[in-house]
Structure 1
């Protein structure tokens, strides 16, 4: 059994006003990987290519150790091992009752667990006799999540899973996904704009910006390696022999009244560099994920302009 749940090799999709990729990405099995990035970066399109809904122009995709090949005899069996929650609910299903939709979906999955499904309905307080078109956005989201989880997929692909959820339902979703991962061999690949969601769930973070993967990071290592350092302009002026801009991993430099702030993505190396040069920071500040993403986006835009 491979340790990689999803592998994209040289995957590229070209459109008149947008190019996605080439993407080389490996999603580890048994972990939660979050793809984050601005709107229009290609997150949903990447999911559709992984699921063979959208065909890439180039590259290869593997899911759960099998190459994605449309029309192959293994395609149906492979899909039964995957659960997919798309960003927007299907509008043509509005006339279906929840029980009718679940009954239809259950026919496609040999692993459908009716007891699990009923348990999820109770947790989310969903009336199965209700028409999908009469549900609020949050209620519909909870129902779709219940359906996706009911067949106990090995790989769960979630596109903005908390869209429309109130705080209580969001907490329930987080707890359910933690329980889902207790098996040890299941995998979640999700996209989200909710930073707290990434903090609570993700083991790995993929930054996708303007159709390109800017990096894949282990979450805790990422948060500990990006720091903002504050220095007194007076102290720096007294050390004119040292170029503070040369600090390892420098990503940005801001000048404030009497202070200079430098952000680095190599905190360990930066600490050693400061020690060697006898420079003491006036303060430090850990960066939030949205701050890190903003800096990566700015860097990518600069590289795009220069190229």
Structure 2
């Protein structure tokens, strides 16, 4: 990702927030313009908190948040909020009694770029009847309606918190296609969270891993999935000590004799290493997103324990 502010849709700079049972940060993270970035991680990682900071619904105790070249909370945020669409993970209870078309009418007063034709087109594509109170809709129907409401003013920045929650497979496919069309404009940005591996693989350009209020890593999606592999290797006299020197090694497990199962984050270099060392690659397998997340969490836990041990030895 580029370091230039003009190339970033969102910049989190040294943000921290401390609560009785949770600490967020410090986090410095850039979300590039014109791309889809997915934040993945366990529940309670701080993903939704970042979204609320973008909207100034929560404030960091330290650091700053810049959105579309505007520092949030530094003055009038209304112009930049006009350019943001937001789909929260949980529906708003105070909207339960109003009908969907009434919510749309309210949005049309707030968003200068509200496009009623676009809104109706989205409803049609998602097969939604907006003449029902939002609170009377099924979870999936309400999710589709709120998705249309978030997208109808063609925002420059779209925040999607678990967008497919409650959607059936057909609705999920329609949403994916709509988001691809939305991004065809070229300079729009999506920041999303999702627990659905296939959703991240279908949509994201960049993936941010978070856990316990911290960023564990930021990766370009194609590079991530082409780099993280499990290797099954064997070699005459091959030891665990030698196997552990494989480039990008994230875990070594003996599978009997002189054979090992190794997880690596540098598949290409690991291939070359095996050739140079005269080691036979029995097979190799690409890691799925949840497996990469699990490995990063394990590495992070080991790193923290080492750091704490060094601190205690001083």
TM-score, normalization by structure 2: 0.93
For residue 42 of structure 1, report the CA deviation from its aligned partner: 0.6
Task: Tell me the alpha carbon deviations over residues 271-305 of structure 1, each in whole angstroms, 9 at most, x when there is no partner.
Answer: 22222211121111111111101111112222333
Is 2:16 the counterpart of 1:33? no
Q: CA deviation at 1:68?
A: 1.0
CA distance in 2, matches of 1:287, 1:211: 24
- Which consecutive residues of structure 1, in runs of 5 or more, have no partner in the other structure? none
- Give distance in 1, aligned partners of 2:50 and 2:71: 16
Residue 295 of structure 1 is matched in structure 2 by 295
Q: 2:111 corresponds to which residue?
A: 109
How many residues align structurally? 302
More divergent stretch after superposition (251-260 vs 272-281)? 251-260
CA distance in 2, matches of 1:36, 1:141: 20
1:51 and 2:55 are equivalent in the alignment: yes
Q: 1:188 to 1:84 in 2, by over 3 A?
A: same
| Alignment partner, residue 231 of structure 2 | 229
The answer to whether the Cα contact below 8 Å between 2:14 and 2:26 also exists between their aligned partners in 1 is: yes
Which residue pairs with 1:244 in the alignment? Answer: 243
| Closer/same/farther in 2, CA of residues 273 and 111 from structure 1, 3 Å limit | same
SS at match of 1:95: coil
Q: 1:126: Cα distance to partner?
A: 1.4
Residues of 2 paired with 1:184 and 1:130: CA distance?
35
How far off its partner does 1:254 sit? 2.1
Q: How many angstroms apart in 2 are the aligned matches of 1:241 and 1:62? A: 47
Secondary structure (helix, strand or coil) at the match of 2:208 reads strand
Deviation for aligned residue 1:153? 0.2
Q: Distance in 2 between matches of 1:170 and 1:128?
A: 19
Give secondary structure in 1 for the equivalent of 2:164.
coil
Match of 1:135 in 2: 137
Matches within 5 A, 1:158-307: 158-232=160-234, 235-236=235-236, 238-239=237-238, 243-257=242-256, 259-306=259-306, 307=308
- Rounded to whole Å, the distance in 2 between the matches of 1:219 and 1:239 is 33
Shift of 1:241: 10
The structure 2 residue matched to 1:96, chosen from 77, 98, 105, is 98
> CA separation in 2, counterparts of 1:239 and 1:207?
34
Shift of 1:240: 5.2
Structure 1 pair 305/17, CA: closer, same or farther in 2 (3 Å)? farther
SS of the residue corresponding to residue 198 of structure 1 reads: helix
* Match of residue 62 from structure 1: 66
